[in-house]
Structure 1
Amino acid sequence: MARPLDRRQLLVLAAAAAAAASSPVFAQAYPNKAVRIVVPQPPGGGFDSVGRLLADRLGKQMGQGFVVENRAGSGTLVGTDLAAKAAPDGYTLLVGSVSNLALNPGLYPNLPYDSLKDFEPIGLAVSYSYTLMARKDLPFRTLQDVVAYAKANPGRLLYASAGNGSGQHVLAAALWHLAGVEITHVPYRGAQPAYQDLLGGRVDLFFDLSPTARVQVDAGNARALAVSGPARNPMHPDVPTVLETRVAQLELESWFGLFAPARTPADVLARLREAFGQVVAAPELGESLAKGGGKPLQLTGEAARAVVRRDVERWAPLVRTLGVRAD
């Protein structure tokens, strides 16, 4: 007959049971409630479309709701800062891009978040190049021709942007700075009015995301001079990269991905990265992104962090040098 347990043995067993009950094995698996994905811009556009695409697929992959929450304001500042300061529990994620994570540190002298310290990358899903367009009747066929004219006629040419501090503004300003030319900036409130004046011949040049630019280029309403990526864009296979033109050592693609607040538990990050990797590896997602003019990416964890760090370290100092400020 077994001897009854003494008081010391009972205490040891009770402690072991309590530890087991509080261990991850016994805890409810993540996620056990809806996860919000903060999109720091209004509905529509690159941030929103990528956020909704990932929300839909991650929800199916993880068996829990992923809900997009548009938190616009001050460009991308309000939503990005909200995500940076959210509880680091895996239930608030951010759609991050070159715009809010790599350019903002140069645009704002007192940025309320640190792109590298305040976020943990889950992964990057897609990137888009920009296309430099000229009005269709501009008497220059190449970027080299534009730069040669601008050197001889400082300030005569006009380039549009979607607003001070927008990606279109920063990229074009960097190009003209590196090429050593002066071209006059004409900021608009959004891309649509910029297109109206480019097509109407009231401005000469406009750098916009390639998927949007493609519509006007294919229709013959504007002429493509160069693309900003490291390689030619399949949508414009005959258009050289800026690097190929040798006008400037400049290349930029606007990537989009998911980020969690710093100090999110390692096991939650691992679960998110695993699910994200499975989602972006799906052939149908890659085909959908490519059809929309994007370059599918399958970067998670440290690989994604390396891309973010590279662009923060490259672009934030350059933006400060340019003296560009957001509206």
Structure 2
Amino acid sequence: MTIILHRRRFISTTCALSSAIALPALAQAPAPYPNRPITLVVPFPPGGSADGAGRAMADRLGKVLGQPVIVDNKAGAGGAIGSAMVAKAPPDGYTLILTSQTTHVVNPAISPRLPYDAVNDFAPITLIERLANVLLVTPGLPVKNFAEFVKYVKANPGKLNYASSGNGSVAHLNMELLKAKLGLFITHIPYRGAGPALTDLMSGQVHMTWNNLTTNLATIQAGRLHAMAVASPVRAPQLPEVPTFDELKLPELNLTSWAGLAAPAKTPEPIIAKLYDAMRGVLRDPQTQDAWRKRGAMVPEDVKPAEYRKEIQQRIQFFRNIVKTHNIVLD
């Protein structure tokens, strides 16, 4: 009997010790993602189209995920500062970046010394929106449509100029491509950002620019800027009289811009999948779709992470070819 009692005490003690050892392991099990606020880095200043897209998306994404998504503007060097910061962030899903044509297409297409690799340093998630680009002219220019615009520019070689948001920007490359395709002589005036360029365009200090429709829809509708053509799959419903570049037999210029969402490379696949699914839920919401239309943006098609990576790679090569083929020199 004594032996049986001792054995029972030993078994009871062993079980208690095992339970005590197991408790800390259970307590340390991570909570499901996300369990704290997420930072969305927008690598541009507040007030622009990228910032607007980021803030519109962040609020909606936070509601779907059940955690706030906080926008952090890290501007500078054409988006390179904020992009490099996210590239080096922990790949845990709590630091994301709003990607754009500038940061993830044009910058890597023209600059061999970027502090980040636009393809390999990030895990693409999906597109947030597509944006129609538009060729804009100051109201003082005596042209009413694209044909008149081309005729007037050719009749005044070297007398006209165009503004861009900086050397190597989307506006710069697209305007240089337009010049090369049509044999136009227009002087480039780079600005430190799209805002000052658009201000001078409206006042007539510069003659034209290339910019996205979202930023300029209100000023076009108010007659403060005139649209000559749009880069869009179909005519913009807000500007039904303005033709696309496809219609004008300039398909190379008919690429939309976009804003997207990405995480640092090596972010676990389950986190990427959860963010992708959450974004699909956001973009399928009729209220989101209505808000995007009012901003002049297009709700994108369902772009999976691998498809988004492929589009980034293809567009980098597209713009590299433009620079090489048309001998575009960055001032």
TM tier, shorter chain? 0.7 to 0.9
Compared with structure 1, are the counterparts of its residues 168 and 268 closer, same or farther at alpha carbon in structure 2 (3 Å cutoff)?
A: same
**Cα deviation 1:114-168 (Å, max 9, x = unaligned):** 2121111111111111221222242333323333444455323211223323332
Indicate whether 1:304 and 2:305 are aligned. no
**Cα deviation 1:67-103 (Å, max 9, x = unaligned):** 1111112120000011111111111111001111011
Name the structure 2 match of 1:68. 71
Name the structure 2 match of 1:7. none
Name the structure 1 match of 2:321. 317
Name the structure 2 match of 1:235. 238
Indicate whether 1:220 and 2:228 are aligned. no
The AA in structure 2 aligned to 1:221 is R
SS of 2:78 mapped into structure 1: coil
Cα distance in structure 2, aligned partners of 1:268 and 1:305: 17
**Aligned-residue offset at 1:169:** 2.2
Cα distance in structure 2, aligned partners of 1:307 and 1:285: 24
SS of 2:39 mapped into structure 1: strand
Task: Assess if the C-alpha contact under 8 Å between 1:119 and 1:260 holds in 2.
Answer: yes
Percent identical pairs in the alignment equals 40
**Aligned-residue offset at 1:248:** 5.7
SS of 1:115 mapped into structure 2: coil
State the structure with more CA Rg.
2
SS of 2:247 mapped into structure 1: helix
Cα distance in structure 2, aligned partners of 1:300 and 1:237: 31
Indicate whether 1:135 and 2:138 are aligned. yes
Name the structure 2 match of 1:284. 287
- Stretch moving more, 41-50 or 156-165: 156-165
What stretches of structure 2 of length at least 5 have no aligned partner? Answer: 9-13
**Cα deviation 1:209-260 (Å, max 9, x = unaligned):** 2133222322223321101223211111110011211256322212112101
Cα distance in structure 1, aligned partners of 2:244 and 2:274: 38
Indicate whether 1:203 and 2:195 are aligned. no
Task: Assess if the C-alpha contact under 8 Å between 2:149 and 2:228 holds in 1.
Answer: no
Compared with structure 1, are the counterparts of its residues 193 and 72 closer, same or farther at alpha carbon in structure 2 (3 Å cutoff)?
A: closer
Superposition pairs of residues 50-129 of structure 1, within 5 angstroms = 50-129=53-132
Task: Assess if the C-alpha contact under 8 Å between 1:102 and 1:316 holds in 2.
Answer: no
**Aligned-residue offset at 1:54:** 2.2
**Aligned-residue offset at 1:323:** 3.7
Cα distance in structure 1, aligned partners of 2:220 and 2:51: 24
Indicate whether 1:145 and 2:148 are aligned. yes
What number of residue pairs does the alignment pair up? 317
The AA in structure 2 aligned to 1:55 is A
Cα distance in structure 1, aligned partners of 2:47 and 2:141: 31
Cα distance in structure 1, aligned partners of 2:135 and 2:57: 29
TM-score scaled by structure 2?
A: 0.85
What stretches of structure 1 of length at least 5 have no aligned partner? Answer: 5-9
Indicate whether 1:251 and 2:247 are aligned. no
Cα distance in structure 2, aligned partners of 1:113 and 1:288: 33
**Aligned-residue offset at 1:324:** 5.0
Compared with structure 1, are the counterparts of its residues 248 and 62 closer, same or farther at alpha carbon in structure 2 (3 Å cutoff)?
A: closer
SS of 2:252 mapped into structure 1: coil
**Aligned-residue offset at 1:48:** 1.6
**Cα deviation 1:177-208 (Å, max 9, x = unaligned):** 23332211122333343334333333322222
Task: Assess if the C-alpha contact under 8 Å between 2:48 and 2:215 holds in 1.
Answer: no
Compared with structure 1, are the counterparts of its residues 134 and 168 closer, same or farther at alpha carbon in structure 2 (3 Å cutoff)?
A: same
Task: Assess if the C-alpha contact under 8 Å between 2:109 and 2:317 holds in 1.
Answer: no
TM-score scaled by structure 1?
A: 0.85
